[in-house]
């Protein structure tokens, strides 16, 4: 009988693995790294689910308590009711043409509205400087108002005793308190 000789490095030759079989080393890596990651993910998800349910329950309790006290919780509760057109200043005939074309600033309606002043047409020409301007940060000149109210036009309104400009202006404006 003839002996068949095996090569000297026969024990080094790798075995042929069956297809679809997962190597032992990869399974060990999955167990060491992926299993703790999976556990951490599940723990975080359970924590969020528990906290969400606790938060919903606490909100329901607060909402019921606030409704019992008469608190407003919805944004819709804070929106005022619509003003009827007959009570709405913006629906005055002067302003109605502006709603047809609000971007057209060269219209006759726009010119009429921009000509309106706080002075109400008492002064001719440019408004007096003592009106102040909230846009420019200028204060109202109360001494000039005091002088204005002491003029012949409004002398009836002003008391004879002289005090500070602010008190004199307030006394002059007291005439309008009952209106």
For the stretch 1-25, pLDDT in tens is 556 666 555 556 556 655 667 778 8
In the listed set 48, 78, 108, which residue is the last one of a domain according to the structure? 78
In the listed set 68, 88, 116, which residue is the last one of a domain according to the structure? 116
Mean pLDDT in residue range 77-81: 89
In the listed set 78, 106, 140, which residue is the last one of a domain according to the structure? 78
For residue 36, give its domain range.
24-78
Q: What pLDDT band is residue 163 in, cutting at 50, 70 and 90?
A: confident
Question: Mapped to the 3 state alphabet, what secondary structure does the chain carry?
Answer: CCCCCCCCCCCCCCCCCCCCCCCHHHHHHHHHHHHHHHHHHHHHHHHHHHHHHHHHHHHHHHHHHHHHHCCCCCHHHHCCCCCCCCCCHHHCCCCHHHHHCCCCCCCHHHHHHHCCCCCCCCCCCCCCHHHCECCCCECCCHHHHHHHHCCCCCCCCCCCCCCCHHHHHHHHHHHHCCC
Total domain count, the chain: 3
Would the pLDDT of 136 be above 70? yes
Please tell me whether residues 99 and 130 are part of one structural domain: no
């Amino acid at each position: 009988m003839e002996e068949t000789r095996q090569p000297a490095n026969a024990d080094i030759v790798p075995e042929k693995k069956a297809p679809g079989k997962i190597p032992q080393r990869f399974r060990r890596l999955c167990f060491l790294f992926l299993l703790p990651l999976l556990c951490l993910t599940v723990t975080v998800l359970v924590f969020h689910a528990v906290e969400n349910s606790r938060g919903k329950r606490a909100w329901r309790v607060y909402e019921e308590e606030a409704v019992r006290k008469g608190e407003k919780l919805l944004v819709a509760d804070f929106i005022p009711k619509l003003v009827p057109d007959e009570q709405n200043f913006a629906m005055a005939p002067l302003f109605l043409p502006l709603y047809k074309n609000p971007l057209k600033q060269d219209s006759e309606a726009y010119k009429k509205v921009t000509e309106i002043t706080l002075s109400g047409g008492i002064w001719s020409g440019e408004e007096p400087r003592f009106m102040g301007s909230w846009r420019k940060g200028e204060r109202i000149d109360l001494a000039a108002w005091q002088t204005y109210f002491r003029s012949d036009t409004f002398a009836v309104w002003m008391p004879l005793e002289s005090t500070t400009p602010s008190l004199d202006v307030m006394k002059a404006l007291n005439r309008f308190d009952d209106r």
